[in-house]
Structure formats: C-alpha cells, structure tokens
Amino acid sequence: MKAERLVGERIHHVVFGCGLVTRTQGEDYIVADFDGTERMFEYPAAFTQYLTVDAEDLRPFLPVCTPPAQNKSADTPRRGRPAKARKGKSEGFIRDEYDTYILADILGCTL
C-alpha cells in the first residue's frame, strides 16, 4: 500500500498517543500531527514498532505493531563497562554510544 493512502487517517503512537497523518515525505515517510506537533516516521517500518492505524479496513495492508517489552527481568545484565574505582565513590557504569542508540530505539526517538 502506498503511503499517500494514509493521508487523513488517524493513527496511534505508543508514546505520543493519537494523531492524524497530514502528508507524506516522498514514498518512504509519513508526517503525523500529534496535538500541534508534527512527527515524521519511516513508512512502513514505523508500523512494526510503535504505530497502529485506527481504520480497520487498512490494518491488513500494514505490518502488525509489536512494541518492545517495557518490563525487563531483574536478572538481565547491565550494559556498559564498569567505571574506574575511585576512593570514596560508588562504582557506576559508563554508557557508550551503542547504549544510546538502543535507548533511542526503545523510546522511538531519532538521534
């Protein structure tokens, strides 16, 4: 299905809530308005992660949204590498560039 078919359709984002597709940006992007804020999404990839369309007749033509799991088990290892121990300071973790991209992907942001 072409992206132009979604113009004027209501969509739902897992973070931004309900919005309206206002236009397309080429064949690979759609632009949606969420209460006055426009957001651009890659089409159709965004529908596999965080977007759904309200029109039931269009759902068979779009990928199924399977958002990432919100709850992680307690035994999941922490990412990052241990920081150097300092006297009188607790040991923390240094986040690297890879972790930043993972967090952005989970939250649906772009860097």
In the chain, domain spans:
3-61
- Residue with the bigger pLDDT between 106 and 101: it is 106
Could you tell me the pLDDT band of residue 64, with boundaries at 50, 70 and 90?
confident
Percentage of residues of the chain with pLDDT beyond 90: 21
Given a contact cutoff of 8 angstroms between Cβ atoms, the answer to whether 11 and 53 are in contact is yes
Burial class for 76, CB neighbours closer than 10 Å (0-12, 13-18, 19+): exposed
The CATH architecture to which 3-61 belongs is: Roll (2.30)
Whole-structure pTM value: 0.57
Give the separation between CA 9 and CA 61, rounded to whole angstroms: 14
